[in-house]
Structure 1
Amino acid sequence: MLQDISSSRWTLTATTTTTVDNHSSSSSPNSTNINQTDIYGGCNPILFQLGNFSRDGPNVVNSICPDTWLVFSFSMTFMTCYVMVLILCSLGLFYKRNGGHLKSRGIVNIIMTLIADSAFIILICLRFIIGRRVYPCGLYIISYFVLPPAILLPSILRLWRLIFMNRLNALKTCMIHHEKHVSIQKQQPSSFNMNVMNNKNSSSSVPIQNDVVMELKETSPRSTTNHCNHGVNNSSSSNHLSSSNHHSSSNHNNEGTCVKTLENDTTLKSEVTTMWWNNVEFSSSQQQKHKLYTLFVSNRFIICVYFVCFLFHILLYIFFGAIEEGMYQSLQGGGGGMNSSNNNNSGRFMMGSNGGLFIYDRGCVLTNQIIILVACESLFYIIISIILLIICFRIQKDTWFIKRESLILVAIQFSAIILFAICGFVPVFTKITDFFIPYGFVLMSYSFSEVVLCILMPVIYQMKLDSKNGTGAHTTLEPHTSFHGTMTSHSRKNAIRTDLERFLDNRKTFELLLDFAKRSYCPESVLCYKDIERFKSSLKHRKSISLHILKTYLKPNSPLELNVPKISQIHDEIMRSIVDASTLQNTMVPSVSSTMLIPHTATTLSSSSSPTTTTPTNIPPNLFDHIQLHCLHNMTDVFERLKSQSKQARKILQEWKEEEFGSNSGGDGVGITMNSVHGVVSTTITTSHHHHETSIPSSTTLLSSGVIQQDNMNSQTSSPLLSSNNNVAREVCSTDNLSTTTIQSKEFKKKTMWNIFNTLCLMYR
């Protein structure tokens, strides 16, 4: 029955068209064109000759031409694909919300982008799926009123956030380097400091073999601290040693360091690096800039911008709709209402007689007035986008590929807008192809590509990075064991360092890692790690450095606040520890100097004396160990991405490995490792064939750490230091106390042991 009705309708329409055509054939050509236009309603005649392929039949309703089933199929396929991508993006955002690729883009910004694009795509696709003649006119018009923010606002805020994230992190790190040089210049004038500055200016470096790095700091009640500089001289193989006893004094730096170095490394723990610490205090203008930049990249700002923009366009729609409806009602004399029939002669000034902004009972098409209004709205956003795009070209490239994808999307966006405008002015697109594949899909394709490039791809990047770190992150923390010895728990702490720690200790690679962390928007961990290293190696300024670390990194809302759980609680606990240590120091009675072993990357020995302004405090050196471990954990991801993105970093690591392999396979060197002598400390003694230099722990270190115990005979001697030196000589020369001994040249070994004995004797003298 339905088929008969449909056939009769087709017959009636065809008969009418034919009648009109036959009648018009006897008329003038101008009359023929007018009559055809009236019959087809401005539609192309091809749309009335499609038969069953036509969805609406050969008729025109409310100036809407008949659609084809291809529009329905294409819209359904497009929307199905988008919904699948939407589900994948939602799941990826939920499971990878803590990933670096997503956090760097801003989770809230990503969610708002997803909502804006989804609203635009779903509303337009539903119009084509439901049917242009049935889809509510008001809902269709409001989707075009919010089209400018839905299309342009996500890219604008992406560029905006990229620019101010770059400026914010530049503000965090730009003063660091300036303060570094200022603090070096403020050091006390001494011959040692002048030598260090000269070494820095000449870009000299101290090569090592990555086995042992020791820093010796010693203070006694009757002497100041001596500075021991164990350097490497290419023309000689002797070590320049210096020590202090209870009856000596010197004019060296009060906070000297004695650094023993070995060979075959690019640079390590430059004295210049350990002389400065990040005691940056932002000025009032810098604090205001920091607050302003932080506000501009905050989630609150992103949400407010979206809310204000969409609310403004919705209110604009209500404003024009109210004016249109009011004018229409006044012209009709109060009759007709919102759902007036099409027989009225006068229409609405925005939509004409076939629709209205507040008409929701039938479909409609866009008019020139709506197109001009939407174009004016879009022009404002386009100008802002162009300005931000120009600024974006001048900033540094980030490590999360945000700048790259933003530039690609802006290019696609402008191309889509231009193509959409061209299609709107070409009759072949508006009268024919729009009813097969609507040209509105040009803008929807851009929104689809934005979701894929800015949301789905970062999720894939993060999944790939997590899978790589699942097997690679552990290898990053694996130590590089020396060929000359075996690894123990103590030797790993004192002698064996990871690639990441070597990057942090090396001045050049530290700058490389800091720059990469800045472009990754996370320089706080790198700077905090360096300040904690300074805290450990300092005696005189330990309290001031600890307070600076608390104020800069562990205070809530500080400029360089670390992303640490329960940071307020940690801040209060560390502050109590500092106060307790200071109180204990003030109540202490000066006595014989006591020594303390400081465990960190380099074995450090210090001794405390009376609490004065020039003596060390009782603050434990491991006060920030858990914070430093947290920083290392945060930097692991940065370091892995640095190795994958930087050819320079990979080249440096390869050179280090080749140097280690070359030194380990050399035939002229001797490596001796003492592992856990008396179960306390593991020390590696390595001699290289290049400089014939031997590095061993000093007698003071061995005594204070309890490595060598004096026997009954030595305990009765008049000079404890001489007894300890004899003990050291016997322990070093005795092969029974060596757990691992590698001998490649017997004659060279004898010479090496003799040099060790002579060195210990010189230390006693």
Structure 2
Amino acid sequence: MVFQLFATTADNFNATNNQTSAICDASFFNSTWSREFPGRVDYSLCPDTWVALCLTFLLIYLSTIFSSGLGVIWKRNSGHIQARSPIYLFFTLFSAFIFIFGMTMRFIVGRKIFPCGLVTIFFFTFPQAVTLPTIFRLMRTFLMHKINLQKTKLFDVDVNKGQVRVDQSQSALSETMSKTELKLVDSDISSEMSLTNVELNEGNEDGDVSNSKIEFKNLSDVKKEMRKLNIYNFLISYKFITVVYILAFVFGILLWVLIGVVEEVVYQKDPTKGRIFLLEGGILLFEHGCGLSTNTTIIIGVESIAYIILELVFFILCLMADRDSWGIKKESLALIFFQIVAAVLFIVCGSINVIKNLVDYYVPYGFLIWGYMLLEVIVCVSLPVLYSIGKEKKHQESGDTGFERLLKNKKTFDIVLDFARRSYCTESVLCWRDIERYKKSGKGNRKKIALHIVEAYLSLEAPLELNMPKIQERKQELSAIIENGSLELDLFNGIQEHCLHDMIDLMDRLSSANKEISEILRNSK
């Protein structure tokens, strides 16, 4: 029936009679699809038609963001949610909410009734609603890559060259890792050696990660690197993203007010010339509805240019980052493709008269943009929540001896560390290794290593601060013991147990991703 309607109305699209205007098809006046009896043209708008499609979409969208929001709160401490940051997910949920809610309500209430001022303010904040979640997602992916790359080698010293050196580049880390002739999963680093030949023997002193020679740099030696980390962390912080979101939407509103005032001033000087930016009505008019003109579209397009440039810059930077173990980079790049497709189709549909003046009244082509926004919520928020729920069901408890043996072997430890780097959680792996070195060190070096562990991992806002409760109390307690000279081998046992527990999800995902690691763990039991 719908197809017959479109076929009939498309054939008669340019026809006019006593009841129609040059821009409205006869079906708007004579069919049961029309919501107006009798139908007429007001404010250059044709009679509105059915609302079922928009209402259904709105209900689906609202239920999706509501259930996804509850899921984020419920699973806020899970790996998939923490890696994406709960605040980023909430901004993704609600940045487009007002736009989609407002525009669908325009069709549900009626284009002639829904206030013109509300329609225009939604459009002036439209670029921010669409692009900001993508911009911050791409930016976070790149910066998390840089942060964890820096953390991995932050305190290490190249003792062979007799000077301090921090590996800051991707190539430097790749070169260091390739020297161990490892085969890594989901990484560009590969080798000819198979890990199935690696034996995790506790008596193998040469392969023990705790026996490698190490010189720790003090915090004073890494001030430059610390400044970089502080800048990176600020750029992905809750405060920064919140301020930018607020400023961006305030800018859109101020631009809306400015353009609206200009339009009113020009219109009041000569009302006979009509409005500049709208067909009939005003940007600041709230008495009735209106339709947008080409001039309005141009202004919104110009406003979008800055956001599109930012999106392009971070898209290129994101391509340079390693593929993370959570699939965030893959999600971000895939959504860029769908965003481009939706934008191109939206522009094309808006330039075709039969779609703009006929089909849009039955099936709004705005669904192309709304559909992309719904897809973004599903891919970036709903699916990670489902991943977390599914992962919890098959989660394994820690305490496996093979698990610790994997960490103690130099070759397999490097695989774990690289996977942790791409999972944005290097702190526990590095802390566990340094505690092992503390246990194997002589009395002359034990205090130095102990102080390094306290300063690097147990200090608030330290570069490698562990995610553990009452960390400041732990630091004070351990610092007092160290100063008293009581450096027992089990001094950091509690901290090391916390690190192992914190790595449960990491090791479980690594075992699932790397068949050879999984085989080693099975053989070591």
Superposition TM-score tier, normalisation by shorter sequence = 0.7 to 0.9
2:153 to 171, 174, 178: 174
**Residue identity matched to 1:382:** I
SS in structure 1 opposite 2:512? helix
User: Any residues of structure 2 matched to 1:110-149 within 5 Å, and which?
Assistant: 110-149=89-128
Given that 1:184 and 1:275 are in contact with CA atoms closer than 8 Å, whether structure 2 keeps it comes out as: no
User: Any residues of structure 2 matched to 1:459-474 within 5 Å, and which?
Assistant: 459-469=385-395, 473-474=396-397
The percentage of counterpart residues that share the same residue type is: 36
* Counterpart position of 2:476: 572
* Counterpart position of 1:668: none
* Counterpart position of 1:351: 278
1:54 to 5, 15, 34: 34
State the distance in 2 between where 1:201 and 1:61 align. 75
State the distance in 2 between where 1:399 and 1:362 align. 52
Q: How many residues align?
A: 482
* Counterpart position of 1:553: 457
SS in structure 2 opposite 1:40? coil
Tell me, yes or no, if structure 1 residue 162 matches structure 2 residue 141.
yes
Given that 1:268 and 1:507 are in contact with CA atoms closer than 8 Å, whether structure 2 keeps it comes out as: no
**Residue identity matched to 1:545:** I
Deviation at residue 650 of structure 1 after TM alignment: 2.3
1:634 to 502, 508, 511: 502
Rate the CA distance shift 1:357–1:184 in 2: closer, same or farther, 3 A. closer
Rate the CA distance shift 1:274–1:445 in 2: closer, same or farther, 3 A. same
State the distance in 1 between where 2:371 and 2:73 align. 25
Q: Render the CA deviation track for 1:180-235: whole Å, top value 9, x for unaligned.
A: 766899xxxxxxxxxxxxxx99999998775xx5xxxxxxxxxxxxxxxxxxxxxx
List alignment gaps of at least 5 residues for structure 2: 1-13, 165-178, 183-192
State the distance in 2 between where 1:634 and 1:39 align. 70
User: Any residues of structure 2 matched to 1:423-434 within 5 Å, and which?
Assistant: 423-434=349-360
User: Any residues of structure 2 matched to 1:537-616 within 5 Å, and which?
Assistant: 537-538=440-441, 539-581=443-485
User: Any residues of structure 2 matched to 1:471-490 within 5 Å, and which?
Assistant: 473-474=396-397, 476-478=398-400
TM value normalised by structure 2: 0.86
Deviation at residue 270 of structure 1 after TM alignment: 2.4
State the distance in 2 between where 1:170 and 1:148 align. 33
Given that 1:556 and 1:567 are in contact with CA atoms closer than 8 Å, whether structure 2 keeps it comes out as: yes
SS in structure 2 opposite 1:279? coil
State the distance in 2 between where 1:518 and 1:208 align. 24
1:66 to 36, 44, 47: 47
SS in structure 2 opposite 1:44? coil
State the distance in 2 between where 1:431 and 1:311 align. 32
Deviation at residue 574 of structure 1 after TM alignment: 0.7
The higher-RCO structure (CA 8 Å, 6+ apart) is: 2
State the distance in 1 between where 2:15 and 2:513 align. 67
Rate the CA distance shift 1:390–1:519 in 2: closer, same or farther, 3 A. same
Deviation at residue 347 of structure 1 after TM alignment: 2.4
SS in structure 1 opposite 2:456? helix
Deviation at residue 322 of structure 1 after TM alignment: 1.5
**Residue identity matched to 2:404:** E
Given that 2:20 and 2:26 are in contact with CA atoms closer than 8 Å, whether structure 1 keeps it comes out as: no
2:511 to 614, 633, 643: 643
> What CA RMSD, in Å, does the superposition of the two structures yield over aligned residues?
2.6
State the distance in 1 between where 2:198 and 2:149 align. 32
Tell me, yes or no, if structure 1 residue 279 matches structure 2 residue 260.
no
State the distance in 2 between where 1:138 and 1:413 align. 27
SS in structure 2 opposite 1:540? helix
2:488 to 603, 614, 620: 620
State the distance in 1 between where 2:55 and 2:489 align. 66
State the distance in 2 between where 1:512 and 1:294 align. 25
Deviation at residue 328 of structure 1 after TM alignment: 2.6
SS in structure 1 opposite 2:43? coil
**Residue identity matched to 2:235:** F
Q: Render the CA deviation track for 1:695-728: whole Å, top value 9, x for unaligned.
A: xxxxxxxxxxxxxxxxxxxxxxxxxxxxxxxxxx
Tell me, yes or no, if structure 1 residue 499 matches structure 2 residue 402.
yes
Rate the CA distance shift 1:287–1:207 in 2: closer, same or farther, 3 A. closer
Q: Render the CA deviation track for 1:96-117: whole Å, top value 9, x for unaligned.
A: 1111111111111111111112
* Counterpart position of 1:422: 348
**Residue identity matched to 2:496:** Q
Deviation at residue 82 of structure 1 after TM alignment: 1.1
* Counterpart position of 1:379: 305
* Counterpart position of 1:536: 439
Deviation at residue 48 of structure 1 after TM alignment: 2.6
Given that 1:137 and 1:361 are in contact with CA atoms closer than 8 Å, whether structure 2 keeps it comes out as: yes
1:362 to 284, 288, 297: 288
State the distance in 2 between where 1:201 and 1:112 align. 42
Give the structure with the higher percent strand.
Answer: 1
Q: Which protein is bigger by CA-based radius of gyration?
A: 1
Deviation at residue 431 of structure 1 after TM alignment: 1.4
* Counterpart position of 1:249: none
Give the structure with the higher percent helix.
Answer: 2
Rate the CA distance shift 1:179–1:569 in 2: closer, same or farther, 3 A. farther
* Counterpart position of 2:264: 325
The 10-residue stretch of structure 1 (452-461 or 380-389) with the greater mean CA deviation from structure 2: 380-389
Deviation at residue 167 of structure 1 after TM alignment: 0.4
